[in-house]
């Protein structure tokens, strides 16, 4: 199979390229990081330097050639940033990816979205994919909601949307490193008695989910699937386990939820008024993920495309910290 992967120089994209290459597929990786692209080339992936937010030139489309599948893993992912930046990267970028997929004659488009599109300030256990989407919690979630609608409208590409929950693993520079840095810098807020839980998903399991979507029959199209580990883990356990691996003892400070949320929203307001609009120490969304249970029902992905997570948290954490992991 010939596969185009956008975001190939990112954490998930590079792992996907390596897996596909190692399993006999021909892979074309798109990305902006030339150094990482050069490494991909040494591993057998053909790298094409592309800024997905810029309209694709005809010369570049010809360089890509034909492909069976287009996996769109590129995007701007953050709890903080300007609405314009998220829309350009995640909405306009997705539209450009759809254009590239059509030019390549792809028969399937796999879009990596986010469970943030379903986030609410309340406990949500075993959340299904067909739940009505709420008002977006932030600009990132808004951009992913819009992009999902665009992808589902591209019926000619037999699209499948995946919403992987909290990806971690060796090479992660976002999830666990951010939690560890926060634990190192001072007490963490203990909200609502510390009873929040979530699923984490080891990066190799997300790759398995993508491959399941790639291999799904063409009549399975226009579907959205949750991708997650099958353990509902207390967030307190996740943070303390990761911090222990990094040699840090976590300190907690019990704070009323309403007070913490008011402080986070005030910090966001102040940050937006700054010339550099620097991210505040704690955003309302990040605070909400610490306060409320958010777990995903993955039964549809199991039954319809054969997805089954294989890496449990204890093993995933061991793999994450094996080798060079610098939070």
- Cβ atoms of residues 179 and 242 within 8 Å: yes
> Which residue is listed with tokens 């350009």?
88
> What are the DSSP E strand ranges found in 176-321?
188-190, 197-198, 201-202, 223-227, 233-234, 252-254, 294-296
CA-only gyration radius of the chain, Å:
20
Q: What angle do CA 279, 292, 278 make, to 5 degrees?
A: 0
Helix (H) / strand (E) element for 319: namely: helix 313-321
Question: One of 19, 39, 140, 168 is an active-site residue; which one?
Answer: 140
SS3 state at 124: strand
- Cβ atoms of residues 154 and 188 within 8 Å: no
> What are the DSSP E strand ranges found in the chain?
2-6, 26-31, 46-49, 69-72, 108-112, 124-127, 160-164, 167-168, 188-190, 197-198, 201-202, 223-227, 233-234, 252-254, 294-296
HSE-CB for 204 with a 13 A CA cutoff: 12
Q: What angle do CA 258, 226, 149 make, to 5 degrees?
A: 85
**Terminus-to-terminus CA distance in the chain, angstroms?**
37
Q: Give me the phi and psi of 295, to 5 degrees please.
A: -120, 155
Q: What angle do CA 309, 318, 40 make, to 5 degrees?
A: 75
> Which residue is listed with tokens 């977006």?
136
168 noted as active-site residue: no
β-strand pairing of 197-198 with 108-112: unpaired
HSE-CB for 75 with a 13 A CA cutoff: 24
What positions carry a catalytic annotation?
A: 140
């Amino acid at each position: 199979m010939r596969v185009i992967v956008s975001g190939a120089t990112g954490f998930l994209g590079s792992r996907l390229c390596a897996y596909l290459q190692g399993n006999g597929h021909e892979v074309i990786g798109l990305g902006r990081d030339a150094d990482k692209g050069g490494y991909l080339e040494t591993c057998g992936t053909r790298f094409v330097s592309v800024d997905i937010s810029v309209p694709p030139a005809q010369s570049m489309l010809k360089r890509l050639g034909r492909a069976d599948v287009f996996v769109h893993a590129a995007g701007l992912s953050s709890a903080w940033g300007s609405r314009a930046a998220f829309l350009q990267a995640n909405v306009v970028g997705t539209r450009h990816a759809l254009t590239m997929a059509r030019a390549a004659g792809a028969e399937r488009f796999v879009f990596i979205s986010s469970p943030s599109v379903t986030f609410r300030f309340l406990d949500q256990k075993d959340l299904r994919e067909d739940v009505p989407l709420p008002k977006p919690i932030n600009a990132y979630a808004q951009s992913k909601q819009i992009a999902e609608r665009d992808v589902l409208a591209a019926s000619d590409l037999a699209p499948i949307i995946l919403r992987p929950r909290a990806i971690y693993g060796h090479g992660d520079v976002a999830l666990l490193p951010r939690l560890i840095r926060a634990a190192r810098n001072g007490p963490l807020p203990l909200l609502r008695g510390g009873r929040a839980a979530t699923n984490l998903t080891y990066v190799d399991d997300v790759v398995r989910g993508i491959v399941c979507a790639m291999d799904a029959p063409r009549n399975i199209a226009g579907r959205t699937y949750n991708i997650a580990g099958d353990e509902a883990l207390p967030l307190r356990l996740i943070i303390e386990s990761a911090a222990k691996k990094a040699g840090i003892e976590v300190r907690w400070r019990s704070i009323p939820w309403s007070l913490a949320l008011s402080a986070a929203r005030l910090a966001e307001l102040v940050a937006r008024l700054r010339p550099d609009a620097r991210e505040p120490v704690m955003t309302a969304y990040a605070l909400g993920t610490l306060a409320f249970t958010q777990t995903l029902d993955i039964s549809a992905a199991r039954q319809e495309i054969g997805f089954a997570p294989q890496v449990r948290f204890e093993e995933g954490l061991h793999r994450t910290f094996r080798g060079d992991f610098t939070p």
